[in-house]
Amino acid sequence: MDKKATKQSKIKLDPIKRVKYEGANWNEPEDDYTQHFYEQNLSQFWRPEDVSLQPDLNVWSVLPENIQDAYAKNLLVLTFLDTHQGDIGMPVVSRSLDDHFHQRKAVLNFMGAMENAVHAKSYSNIFMTYMSNQKIDELFHWGEKHTNLQNIMSLIVGYYKELDRYNYLKQFESNDPGYSETDFNIAQFKAMVASVYLETWLFYSGFYYPLFFYGQGKLMQAGEIINLILRDESIHGLYVGRLAQEVFETFSNELQEQLTQWVHDFLLELYHEQNELVESIYDAVELSHDVKIFVRYNANKALMNLGFDPYFEPEDVNPVVLNGLNTETKTMDNFSMKGNGYQKMKSEMLKDSDFVFDREKIITFGGKK
């Protein structure tokens, strides 16, 4: 038997690693909030194809190129974030919870399934409706080469991978003298903070431009999709934030102080990258200043979900965008049902007249009012 095979069989048969398997018993709540999040998540379930994007085409097709470009690049950033939140972010946090937390794991796994399979897919549907294959390819290449976007992904996914490593160590190497339960919990806390920064801060900052249009009654179908995603990310950030607070409370005062410093250092690191990313997208439409205010606004929200005080001074956010966050067609109270602006898609055959656009009626977007 070769060395590799010996090691594999040792892991399988090691009696210390034997566990008693149990089933998820939903008759016994694991805590007083997870089953509420479960209900809310499932009541919000939707599919990318529920919202038809065709009605947006008459507006999109006459937008100036610099505005189309900024809109698409912004959604591409959201695509990258959702992709990795689904591929590793939610699954790794779920796996890090103790084995008996079957309900918590189920909620996180459901959230993880939404990220890529529904949210990232929806952004692709928008690209496929609005853009040519060549333009879509160029857009994805832009993201793959964008230094700030890549740095943001490395920072966030780096903490996920570190927790992935610790999940393995806890499972198979916990008797090793180099392993410590506190180190595991620190890695878990850091990954949860990264997750909340992604959900409540980075995602929300990316909702600025679609809401900017939606608030003015333009690209409404894409706006409906954003509303559905926004509602999901809202409860994702709240839930993981709550789990992070539980972990944080187990730490000594000294460790809490050190980690509070880290929370702020990490925030500033991401903030620096985000500011440059914002400039690279929004300078062309003269909105960088406004978007950066929204970035700081959402950073404070993320900190509050994690149980920390706001870091940035309060500022006035663009009322058009705030209005987009607060309309009655959405559910920002986190525990109500689907928004009343949401309807399942009713499809009909396209007609030639669908492609006749009245240019007079199209308002030009951008920083100039």
The site for Fe ion (CB under 5 A) is made up of: 82, 115, 119, 199, 233, 236
For the question of residue 282 being annotated catalytic, the response is no
Rounded CA-CA distance 33/12 in Å is 36
Query: Letter for the amino acid at 147?
Result: T
CB of residue 112 vs Fe ion: minimum separation in angstroms? 8
Contact 306, 197 (CB under 8 A): no
Burial classification of residue 187, based on how many CB atoms lie within 10 Å of its CB (0-12 exposed, 13-18 middle, 19 or more buried): buried
Residue among 82 and 273 whose Cβ is closer to Fe ion: 82
CB of residue 116 vs Fe ion: minimum separation in angstroms? 8
Query: Letter for the amino acid at 344?
Result: K
Contact 157, 270 (CB under 8 A): no
Residue among 230 and 295 whose Cβ is closer to Fe ion: 230
CB of residue 109 vs Fe ion: minimum separation in angstroms? 12
Residue among 199 and 290 whose Cβ is closer to Fe ion: 199
Residue among 228 and 285 whose Cβ is closer to Fe ion: 228
Rounded CA-CA distance 143/128 in Å is 17
The alpha carbons of the chain give a radius of gyration, in whole angstroms, of 22
Rounded CA-CA distance 189/126 in Å is 35
Residue among 63 and 92 whose Cβ is closer to Fe ion: 92
Q: What is the 3-state secondary structure (H, E, C) of 178-239?
A: CCCHHHHHHHHHHHHHHHHHHHHHHHHHHCHHHHHHHCCCCCHHHHHHHHHHHHHHHHHHHH
Q: What is the largest CA-CA distance in the chain?
A: 78
Q: Other C-beta atoms within 10 Å of 194: how many? A: 26
Question: Of the listed 21, 33, 38, 123, which one is catalytic?
Answer: 123
CB of residue 218 vs Fe ion: minimum separation in angstroms? 23
CB of residue 161 vs Fe ion: minimum separation in angstroms? 18
Annotated catalytic sites, by residue?
Answer: 123
